[in-house]
Chains A and B, each alone.
Chain A
Amino acid sequence: EIVLTQSPATLSLSPGERATLSCRASQSVSTYLAWYQQKPGQAPRLLIFDASNRATGIPARFSGSGSGTDFTLTISSLEPEDFAVYYCQHRSNWPLTFGQGTRLEIK
């Protein structure tokens, strides 16, 4: 089973700042990595798939990068609605697994 480790666990930033979230895989997943956003009381929403492709309707301030074992989700300038929990997920093989999440909170 591929283990995805996200860091930091919590990130405290202010609106307008740049956010950088990390996801590290225990073995290579090529570019088979996605990012999701989850707000309290809501279902998760797909942001990025295949490491760097934005899903439909996702604003351009969200970008993803990386390959192999190290991946990054960047939010270029935080909007108030971006404060949420973010998860990475791989699809390299079975079982599909998620990282433990990064909570992005308002400073």
Chain B
Amino acid sequence: EVQLVESGGGLVQPGGSLRLSCVASGFTFNNYAMSWVRQAPGKGLEWVSSINGGGTSTNFADSVKGRFTISRDNSKNTLSLQMDSLRVDDTAVYYCAKDPGDWSNWFDPWGQGTLVTVSS
């Protein structure tokens, strides 16, 4: 069974940094692209970033480009999102999600999410 477990969320001040992690199990991690998708409280879904299985190609939403970095450690089955220069509007539940293939760009399944709150 595929399992994705996010961690690292919490309260941070505007301008601060936070690093999210997602530990994967139940599949051959390096064969699949992975993504982060966020959801602000009471709002819809927003794609944040994706990385291919080998970790050699990444893409970012314009809203986070230059501030967030996505990476993966295939030896540890771990996906990471380094978030710098955080803003109040980055407040959201952050989900990690598995791609059914390598760059098919669907999300299946999703983790349970980790809440990031940016506030002074």
Contacts and interface: CB of A to CB of B under 8 A. Distances in A.
A94 B106 contact: no
B112 to A, nearest CB: 6
Interface stretch (B17-25, B41-49, B68-76, B78-86): B41-49
Contact of A91 (B105, B111, B112, B113): B105
A46 B106 contact: yes
Interface stretch (A13-21, A62-70, A95-103): A95-103
Nearest to A1: B62
B61 A49 contact: no
A45 B109 CA distance: 7
A44 B45 CA distance: 9
Interface in A57-99: 87, 89, 91, 94-99
Contacts of B110: 43-45
B45 A91 contact: no
Contact of A46 (B108, B112, B113): B108
A2 to B, nearest CB: 12
Interface residues of A, number: 21
A38 B107 CA distance: 13
Nearest to B100: A49
Contacts of A96: 47, 50, 105
Contacts of A36: 45, 107
A43 B105 contact: no
Contacts of A94: 59
Given A38-B45, A45-B110, A96-B50, 20 more contacts: A1-B62, A34-B106, A36-B107, A43-B110, A44-B37, A44-B95, A45-B108, A45-B109, A46-B107, A46-B108, A55-B108, A87-B44, A89-B47, A89-B107, A91-B104, A91-B106, A95-B62, A96-B105, A98-B47, A99-B44
12 contacts: A34-B107, A36-B45, A43-B111, A43-B113, A44-B107, A45-B110, A49-B108, A89-B47, A89-B107, A96-B50, A98-B47, A99-B44
Q: Which 8 A-B pairs have the closest CB atoms?
A: A91-B105, A46-B108, A43-B110, A96-B47, A98-B45, A49-B106, A101-B44, A100-B44
